[in-house]
Amino acid sequence: MRIGGKVYVSLSNRVLVESIITNLEKVEQTFSIAESCTCGMLTSAFAYRSGVSKTFLGGVVSYANSVKQEVLGVSQTTLETRGAVSKETAMEMAKGAKQKLNSDWSVSVTGIAGPTGGSQEKPVGTVCFAVVGPNIEEVRRENFQGDRQAIQNITVDYALRFLLETTNKKFNH
């Protein structure tokens, strides 16, 4: 699959999920999810796995800014100055989920899946991601192409890869 100027080799989400769970089970650590534009799709990627609750504590679907603020602790200032789709909001979402759900790790996604809501500065397909873990914080902004469903599916895949890549960095040093 080609996304922008990059070519991605598709692994099934199950392979990514199993790898994430294996990494975290080895070190007895947990994770949580905060998601907006995927509306629960990222969380549901873990639903098929029996026993996942040993590592996956839960997720927050925060479509509304009020939920980002009241549940995840995203600051009003961040939302007003940077917007709901920003690296700063993604980081605050991940930190908020990690803190509220008392997990070792958290991954967040916030973006514009379309077809409406885009702007010149943040076109449809703009998605921000954050991963927070023990002594590690990473954030990224990507731009994906496609219709709403394609952007949401690509976002889930990318978030799983980002979490796996970040845990691999942490545990394979």
| Predicted local confidence at residue 171, as pLDDT | 79
Helices (H), 30-122: 41-44, 65-70, 76-81, 87-101
Q: What is the spatial distance between Cα 48 and Cα 103, in angstroms, rounded to a whole number? A: 21
Residues 139 and 129 sit within 8 Å (Cβ to Cβ) = yes
Q: Which of 105, 93, 108 is nearest to 38 (CA)?
A: 108
**Angle in degrees, CA 107, 63, 44, rounded to 5:** 50
Tell me the pTM: 0.92
What confidence tens digit (pLDDT) does each residue in 15-28 have? 999 999 999 999 99
- Rounded-to-integer distance, Cα 15 and Cα 58, Å: 20
Domain annotation for the chain: domains and CATH numbers = 2-171 (3.90.950.20)
Which whole number is the average pLDDT over 104-110? 98
Cβ burial of 96 (10 Å; 0-12, 13-18, 19+) is buried
Report the amino acid identity of residue 149.
Answer: Q
Confidence of residue 14 (pLDDT cuts 50, 70, 90): confident
36 — phi, psi (to 5°)? Answer: -120, -75
Confidence class for position 170, pLDDT limits 50, 70, 90: confident
